[in-house]
Structure 1
Amino acid sequence: MEEDVDQLNHAELVDKNFVLFAEGCFGLFTSKIAASLIRYRGDRCVAVIDSRKAGHTVQDVLGYGGAIPIVGRVEHALPLRPEVMVIGKGLHSAELPSGWKPHLLAAVRNGLHLINSIHYRLTDDPDIARAVRAQGVTVWETKDSPTVPLNRARVLDLDTWVIHTCGSDSNIGKKTAALQIWHEANRTGTPTGFAATGQTGMLISGHGIAVDGVPGDFMAGAVEHVVMEAAAGNEWVVVEGQGSLNHIGFSGVALAILHGALPHALVFCHRLGAERTKVWETPIIPIPELIRMNEELTVFERPAEVAAVSVNSVGFSEEDYRREAEKLEADTGLPVVDPVREGGAARLVDILRAHRQRTADRQLVRQR
């Protein structure tokens, strides 16, 4: 048996080869954790489990990811030597879907460690808990609430420049925009930390906190803690957004991140063409109004402005994308960028650097 994984930190655990569990739901928007891990940690993924799409490749379904196979059962992935099974879908529920349990038990009984991305604690199930003890494997419950203090606004004392990706809905590209900025800023010489606030960001970066698993009074403090950690040794920190201020289910998390991160700048994220929020189907109010809402709810100690709009334009032709992006630019007065379509966040990072200089110049004028 391999070394005791209890002695490994999360960064070491996520560096192991894994199989993604996305039974009945593998897709770009239907299993966003799986889709993100394929994009950013695809070198460690040996297979995806989804019996409905077995026989296809990840490339067939997502349009990226290459020849990673999709299989129907855990046992079919074992010849590829995974060490961990990652649940690749979050749920708007605290229940364990009944059809998942046989797959989870099969993984544990074959010696795979589990990374759990849902609110239900897997070891609360007696059968899974028994199997975990018998096999000596580790279960990382990413939604377990850590012990964190109340927000004390310590971020205001940092020299690090803080960027926060907010947006119009959940599952629209806030994490992707943050990760693209993180990669590009580091690539071009600006040491930048990534502050993960959700389970997918944690699995990609190896650190962070799932803020939606933290009691309400402590959410902003949890974000402050993550930002402080990500700031060490860095000039910038990019804070992953969650939910949205206009979301009837996740507005509290969005506001806690905004106030815990105390950003200098915002990047507003939107899925191009979306008119209603996912799942709840509430109308998305005009983007200029949402941008103003986010800016107005930053705290007076550090008012922040939106520097750019980052869009997810999946499904749009290049011509349609350009037309819609130009319209959104006219409506908001801000540059519009799709950091995936454009092959990276180079333009977005250039915009942020100019925004930082411009706001710093304004601050000097005020001080004089």
Structure 2
Amino acid sequence: MGQVSHAELVDKKFVLFAEGCFGLFTSKIAASLIRYNGDRCVAVIDSRKAGQTVQDVLGYGGSIPIVSRVEQALHLGPEVMIIGKGLHSANLPSAWKPTILAAVQNGLHLINSIHYRLAEDPDIARGIREKGITVWETKDAPPVQLNKARVLDLDTWVIHTCGSDSNIGKKTAALQIWNEARRTGIRAGFAATGQSGMLISGHGIAVDGVPGDFMAGAVEQVVLEAAAGNEWVVVEGQGSLNHIGFSSVALAILHGSLPHALVFCHRLGAERTKVWETPIIPIPELIRMNEELSVFERPAKTAAVSVNSFGFSDEDFRREAEKLEADTGLPVVDPVREGGAARLVEILRAHQRETADRLSSGRS
């Protein structure tokens, strides 16, 4: 079997591995792929939810079945198995190995979303060689340079989705803005900085797999590539400046992308960060922190707040959104609940015009 390019891999039918964790917030890679590339997903592997459908668990995705074992999905014709869950460790869970081996023995290509390189396991490596399958290690870092602020030389307008925590909707907001911008005739590129965005858009980088000094340079390169032939670039955010585990990637993306505008993302009602359970400081302070840490050559301002209001009734959402608007002085939008990012794109268009007007006034 010949090796397959990354672009070819993301176009193939796939089965998602999310053993013991399939859910909207517990397997964000899987949930994102089903939202945006669900037409190519044939099944999800999670023995705890086997017998249900993706719709039952996520509230979207339709009749995609959830099965216990990879063998139960083979009749549906997958060509790739995607590990749909990132891990806060560099180890391979022992319970995952049998499923990965089964996928290899049945000739499925692999897309790996965790830091552990699958070929480091001798049994998996042997199977990969024998079957001649392709393994895409999404955490492998390509050769990159230090950030040189080359983004400042672009004519493209850069938007960055930052936020208050990990796994709250920064990628979703960016993808919704990107899709809506293109729908309305704006030539827009998407700069993926994590494996979900890479698998959905077909290009980008997993910035958390890049050595620290080179993270901002890696982001710079992705933005430069996404800007080619486009009027806008929408840069996917990662982590948050206030997150004790992921502040470094958030700052690297802010400095590497050098955005003109920020869209601040927050999970409505959240008071503590996930996993680490540290208090989330007031949203106006976090917004100000992101703006103040943007570089002086291009100070970025926040155009809007994008919220994830999953679990809220429409009435409760509206009440909490109005409170957040009063606290921040910014429009608050849920680009999923409200049927897309049309309002966000209009806000960003207005922000772009206002920014251009201010720059013109400053030069005159």
TM above 0.5, one fold? yes
Distance in 1, matches of 2:20 and 2:286, equals 34
Shift of residue 13 of structure 1?
A: 1.0
Distance in 1, matches of 2:185 and 2:332, equals 23
Distance in 1, matches of 2:273 and 2:88, equals 14
Q: Which residue of 2 aligns with 1:67?
A: 63
Does structure 2 conserve the Cα–Cα contact (< 8 Å) formed by 1:165 and 1:269? yes
Does structure 2 conserve the Cα–Cα contact (< 8 Å) formed by 1:11 and 1:205? no
Distance in 1, matches of 2:321 and 2:245, equals 28
Q: Which residue of 2 aligns with 1:35?
A: 31
Listed one character per residue, the Cα deviations across residues 136-179 of structure 1 (whole Å, up to 9, x for unaligned) are 00110000111001101000000000000000000000000000
Does structure 2 conserve the Cα–Cα contact (< 8 Å) formed by 1:268 and 1:306? yes
Listed one character per residue, the Cα deviations across residues 28-64 of structure 1 (whole Å, up to 9, x for unaligned) are 0000000000000000000000000000000000000
Shift of residue 11 of structure 1?
A: 1.8
Does structure 2 conserve the Cα–Cα contact (< 8 Å) formed by 1:266 and 1:306? yes
Q: Which residue of 1 aligns with 2:181?
A: 185
1:21 aligns with 2:14: no
Shift of residue 15 of structure 1?
A: 0.4
Q: 1:292 aligns with which of 288, 291, 296?
A: 288
AA partner of residue 9 (structure 1): S
Shift of residue 9 of structure 1?
A: 2.8
1:149 aligns with 2:145: yes
Listed one character per residue, the Cα deviations across residues 262-295 of structure 1 (whole Å, up to 9, x for unaligned) are 0000000000000000000000000000000000
Task: Give TM-score scaled by structure 1 length.
Answer: 0.98
Distance in 2, matches of 1:191 and 1:201, equals 18
AA partner of residue 243 (structure 2): H
1:324 aligns with 2:323: no
Distance in 2, matches of 1:351 and 1:12, equals 36
Distance in 1, matches of 2:200 and 2:120, equals 26
Listed one character per residue, the Cα deviations across residues 98-126 of structure 1 (whole Å, up to 9, x for unaligned) are 10000000000000000000000011000
Please give the secondary structure, in 2, of the residue aligned with 1:163: strand
Shift of residue 203 of structure 1?
A: 0.4
Shift of residue 348 of structure 1?
A: 0.2
Listed one character per residue, the Cα deviations across residues 291-340 of structure 1 (whole Å, up to 9, x for unaligned) are 00000000000000000000000000000000000000000000000000
Shift of residue 12 of structure 1?
A: 1.6
Please give the secondary structure, in 1, of the residue aligned with 2:262: strand
Shift of residue 232 of structure 1?
A: 0.5
Distance in 2, matches of 1:11 and 1:343, equals 29
AA partner of residue 64 (structure 1): Y
Please give the secondary structure, in 2, of the residue aligned with 1:51: coil
1:131 aligns with 2:127: yes
Q: Which residue of 2 aligns with 1:363?
A: 359
How many pairs does the alignment contain?
364
AA partner of residue 335 (structure 2): P
Distance in 1, matches of 2:7 and 2:119, equals 22
Distance in 2, matches of 1:305 and 1:171, equals 23
Distance in 1, matches of 2:219 and 2:6, equals 18
Q: Where do 5+ consecutive residues of structure 2 fail to align? A: none
Distance in 2, matches of 1:11 and 1:289, equals 40
Cα RMSD over matched residues? 0.5
Task: Give TM-score scaled by structure 2 length.
Answer: 0.99
Q: Which residue of 2 aligns with 1:203?
A: 199
1:117 aligns with 2:103: no
Q: Which residue of 2 aligns with 1:310?
A: 306
The within-5 A match list for 1:42-53 is 42-53=38-49
Q: Which residue of 1 aligns with 2:97?
A: 101
Distance in 1, matches of 2:7 and 2:352, equals 31
Q: Which residue of 1 aligns with 2:172?
A: 176
Please give the secondary structure, in 2, of the residue aligned with 1:53: coil
Distance in 2, matches of 1:304 and 1:9, equals 37
Distance in 1, matches of 2:350 and 2:128, equals 52
AA partner of residue 262 (structure 2): L
Identity across the alignment (%): 85
Q: Which residue of 2 aligns with 1:348?
A: 344
Q: Which residue of 2 aligns with 1:212?
A: 208
Q: Which residue of 2 aligns with 1:239?
A: 235
Distance in 1, matches of 2:178 and 2:162, equals 15
Distance in 1, matches of 2:72 and 2:196, equals 25
Q: 2:258 aligns with which of 256, 259, 262?
A: 262
